[in-house]
Structure 1
Amino acid sequence: MISDFRLLAAGQTLSWIGNGFQTVALAFAIVRADGGAGDLGIVMACSFTALLACSLFGGVWADRLQPQRVMVVSDLIRLLASAAMALMFAGGGYHLPLLCALVAVSSGAGSFFNPAMTALRPLLVPADRLQSANATLSILQTGSSVAGPALGGLTVAAFGAPAGFAVNAVSFLASMAACLLLRARATRGPRAPMLHELRAGWREISSRDWLIGGLFGATVYHVANGVILVLVQVIAIKRLGGASAAGFIAAAEGLGGVIGAAVALRFKPRRLLRAGWLTLMLMPLWAFAYVWPATLVAVLAGAVIGWAGLIFFDVAWETAIQDQIPQTALGRVASWDTLTSFLAMPIGNALAGPLSARYGVNPVLTVCAAILLASAVSQLLIPGARTLTRTTGTAPAHTPAEILDSTPA
């Protein structure tokens, strides 16, 4: 019998690949319609604003209802939005207000899906396989983030932007089907007013030093990383070889992510969160490689090493939250986690230009790399981050195939 986890993994892999198709199709469609960078920026801003506005509410509803019910509704809304975009561009029309509305609706629905998925995962596998399950999904997501845009680019080039939107709509249908077949059920208590439930979710965070410290540390980290992500693209294009160099670097980052997730499948220390913060200290190597020695080979090596550390940390962080937070509050905690990240990253993106214009690209990159390091190191000063141990203990390593074959907990 097909397990719940296998269904989730299959549905999400198709959905992640489909998102890559839409990313390419959206940019292509706007540019071909003479919308230019200005229109693309407006559309992206609408997407971000909707995500920001809906994130915390998505966490509340993930804890109120069965998670898969929230996921199905989210997928249905995103399917309809993607199909509407395909129809709009297939008909030869380009209406910026309508496109902004559709993108905002899709992004807002997505902000409900992710907390629900976080709340669902611990119900799908035995507790001692949770880290391996998270690592398996990270491998699939990282691979999809490379395969999706590549396949999307070929499809859009051959058949046009509407085909990219249509593929994404079909991928949401596949995710919906998988969610509808999930058998796991979460325990849900009586509902309280929305603000009360939001405050209760925050109390789960503020009562744990490792969690609230990690969120504040991640906020600082994401501001610096937001600056870095803008500047390294400029360096890749201007100094390291142009578009081909940027492509090689993206591939190296994907390879590093797969390596980091694969290590997380096998390496299961009892103090997993401490190991995660230690591996996150590898990310500054990637950023600093653009400054010195500033060669493509060095940047590629830094990308593999740094992103391996980042993805291992992501697995450790998600596993710690799922292991330590009551299942009835997981969605809200996940939504607060998402909110801090999405608040910080655009701030860094916006600061990249003014800071580099005033102080120069290399000095700004150097300082931001130091901030990444300090953000990770500072967490080891927090007692909970150093000493947190798995409540379920450690377990033998499992391969992705073994996890996909696991039965529901």
Structure 2
Amino acid sequence: MRFTDFQLLATGQTLSWVGNGFQTVALAVAVVQAGGGPGDLGLVMAASIVARLVCTLFGGVWADRLQPQHVMVASDLVRLLAAGGMAVMFFGGAYHLPLLMALAALSTGAASFFDPAFSALRPLLVPPENRQSANATLSMLQTGSQIAGPALGGVTVAAFGASAGFTVNAFSFLASMVAALLLRVRAERGDRTSMLSELAAGWREIAKRDWLLFGLFGATVYHIANGVILVLVQVVAIERLGGPSAAGFIAAAEGLGGVIGAAVALRFKPRRLLRAGWLTLLLMPLWALAYVWPAELIAVIAGAIIGYAGLIFFDVAWETAIQDNVPQRMLGRVSSWDYLTSFLAMPVGNVLAGPLEATYGTSKVLTVCAAVLFLSAATQFLVPGTRTLTRATAASPADPGPVPELPDAVKEPHPEQQSTAVSPVRR
């Protein structure tokens, strides 16, 4: 059987996403068992955040300068070596915090180059009318991996130690790298200018589209509020809803909601997809408010399923809108600006959570933040482009031309079978 480029990408990425779950568990266990404690773990996470902020925009430029799969291969190689270095360090019983911080920053910095390249590559693999299906499929695979990866990682690390978790993650990067090397699609690339000029050109592509510009501003506000919420709901779940087991049930519900949202996006294809996406994002405040009232575990689980279904449908709609309307040669830079808003705003909300909770109380802060989530999505309907933007159904200026066919699992349904039912925001 000959795999299509899309199947290769989906397979490699699924293995990589699962592998990331192993490293998430392994890193926390390794630091704690080595006697590092929360302070050391916080420093490692801070090093990762700084690397992400420094590298993201440059990653977008290089994704548009080179073939995106070449950037992905280089990124995977660096991440493989970083994960391998962590495995060797902890396997030998050594623990060097500065080295661990450097390896974590190296891995996250490489990911900052990978993500824009991945975004730039995806629309090359499918025709315009199948982009929503492809994005929904990848979103479903990613959400499922975010459930399976930590679960499998926890079992593996418990049985074989943290080094085994890092080793599995290293091999997952190898799988992703091999898949990217096998891709046959090629993107057209223009002449290079200075780094700053190319970054500015990416921003100009955003500024000329009202739905994109105001969408990024709305997402920034959304992420600050959501950063506060994500800290406080963990405390509420553990202290008031049943402890770690409750937190686990809620996390599983969020994953289930994500899978449902992606499944809906596979079948439901409105002409004004972006408008529908912002509409479904209005469901997310229900998740946050469930922690306030009725503040029962079953209500929070229901809110998580509904809210995350809306979030993932929005993610698919947003990614599809960008792919349909931004020229392919600019996708890496536009995506990097999109990623940057997420990674700048979320830590701000995380930092504000403690002081706000101490001053106003958990319930008030969650209620206000839920209102901010609602308003950040609802105000997008005031933007003309958001209301009128339509899906691409044929070749367009952003369309790269003939590409390999989408696998049967994600092809558009036959007209007689098609349903007639009526993340700039990231998880």
Amino acid paired to 2:173? F
Shift of the alpha carbon at 1:401? Answer: 4.8
Shift of the alpha carbon at 1:391? Answer: 2.9
- Measure, in 1, the Cα distance between the counterparts of 2:407 and 2:154: 28
- Measure, in 2, the Cα distance between the counterparts of 1:183 and 1:268: 29
Matched-pair contact (CA < 8 Å) for 1:249–1:299? yes
Matched-pair contact (CA < 8 Å) for 2:47–2:101? yes
Q: Does 1:187 align with 2:188?
A: yes
- Measure, in 2, the Cα distance between the counterparts of 1:64 and 1:184: 16
Amino acid paired to 1:293? P
1:370-394 per-position Cα deviation (integer Å, ceiling 9, x unaligned): 0000000000000001110123269
Q: Does 1:14 align with 2:21?
A: no
Residue in 2 aligned with 1:112? Answer: 113
Query: Where does 1:18-167 land on structure 2 (aligned, <5 Å)?
Result: 18-167=19-168
Could you list the runs of 5+ residues in structure 2 that have no partner in the other structure? 396-404, 414-427
1:323/1:405 CA distance change after superposition, 3 Å: closer
Matched-pair contact (CA < 8 Å) for 1:55–1:112? yes
- Measure, in 2, the Cα distance between the counterparts of 1:47 and 1:28: 17
Matched-pair contact (CA < 8 Å) for 1:87–1:162? yes
- Measure, in 1, the Cα distance between the counterparts of 2:408 and 2:45: 37
- Measure, in 2, the Cα distance between the counterparts of 1:382 and 1:167: 46
- Measure, in 2, the Cα distance between the counterparts of 1:287 and 1:273: 23
Residue in 1 aligned with 2:347? Answer: 346
Amino acid paired to 2:366? L
1:340/1:352 CA distance change after superposition, 3 Å: same
Shift of the alpha carbon at 1:126? Answer: 1.4
Say which SS state the counterpart of residue 380 (structure 1) adopts: helix
Residue in 2 aligned with 1:337? Answer: 338
Residue in 1 aligned with 2:318? Answer: 317
- Measure, in 1, the Cα distance between the counterparts of 2:6 and 2:412: 8
- Measure, in 2, the Cα distance between the counterparts of 1:8 and 1:400: 12
Shift of the alpha carbon at 1:192? Answer: 0.6
Amino acid paired to 2:63? A
Amino acid paired to 1:181? L
1:237-276 per-position Cα deviation (integer Å, ceiling 9, x unaligned): 0000000000000000000000000000000011000000
Q: Provide runs of 4+ in structure 1 moved above 6 Å.
A: none
Residue in 2 aligned with 1:402? Answer: 409
Residue in 1 aligned with 2:416? Answer: none
- Measure, in 1, the Cα distance between the counterparts of 2:63 and 2:326: 14
1:200/1:280 CA distance change after superposition, 3 Å: same
Shift of the alpha carbon at 1:404? Answer: 8.0
Residue in 2 aligned with 1:212? Answer: 213
Q: Does 1:177 align with 2:178?
A: yes
Matched-pair contact (CA < 8 Å) for 2:216–2:338? yes
- Measure, in 2, the Cα distance between the counterparts of 1:51 and 1:348: 17
- Measure, in 2, the Cα distance between the counterparts of 1:391 and 1:78: 35
Residue in 2 aligned with 1:294? Answer: 295
Count matched residues: 403
- Measure, in 1, the Cα distance between the counterparts of 2:209 and 2:25: 41
- Measure, in 2, the Cα distance between the counterparts of 1:302 and 1:165: 34
Amino acid paired to 1:238? E
Q: Does 1:240 align with 2:247?
A: no
- Measure, in 1, the Cα distance between the counterparts of 2:89 and 2:339: 31
Matched-pair contact (CA < 8 Å) for 1:27–1:40? yes
Shift of the alpha carbon at 1:403? Answer: 2.6
Amino acid paired to 2:276? A
1:326/1:399 CA distance change after superposition, 3 Å: closer
- Measure, in 1, the Cα distance between the counterparts of 2:269 and 2:355: 43
Amino acid paired to 2:35? D
- Measure, in 2, the Cα distance between the counterparts of 1:24 and 1:70: 27
- Measure, in 2, the Cα distance between the counterparts of 1:232 and 1:402: 37
- Measure, in 1, the Cα distance between the counterparts of 2:5 and 2:60: 22
Amino acid paired to 1:402? A
1:300/1:361 CA distance change after superposition, 3 Å: same
TM-score by length of 1: 0.97
Shift of the alpha carbon at 1:400? Answer: 7.7
Say which SS state the counterpart of residue 390 (structure 1) adopts: coil
- Structure 1 vs Structure 2: percent identity of aligned residues? 75
Amino acid paired to 1:299? V
Shift of the alpha carbon at 1:402? Answer: 2.3
Say which SS state the counterpart of residue 382 (structure 2) adopts: coil
- Measure, in 2, the Cα distance between the counterparts of 1:313 and 1:205: 19
Shift of the alpha carbon at 1:127? Answer: 1.2
Q: CA RMSD in A?
A: 1.5
Amino acid paired to 1:103? A
1:44/1:404 CA distance change after superposition, 3 Å: farther
Matched-pair contact (CA < 8 Å) for 1:138–1:315? yes
Amino acid paired to 2:70? R
Say which SS state the counterpart of residue 156 (structure 1) adopts: helix
- Measure, in 1, the Cα distance between the counterparts of 2:354 and 2:392: 45
- Measure, in 2, the Cα distance between the counterparts of 1:35 and 1:404: 49
Say which SS state the counterpart of residue 48 (structure 1) adopts: helix
- Measure, in 2, the Cα distance between the counterparts of 1:399 and 1:155: 35
- Measure, in 1, the Cα distance between the counterparts of 2:284 and 2:31: 34
Say which SS state the counterpart of residue 187 (structure 1) adopts: coil
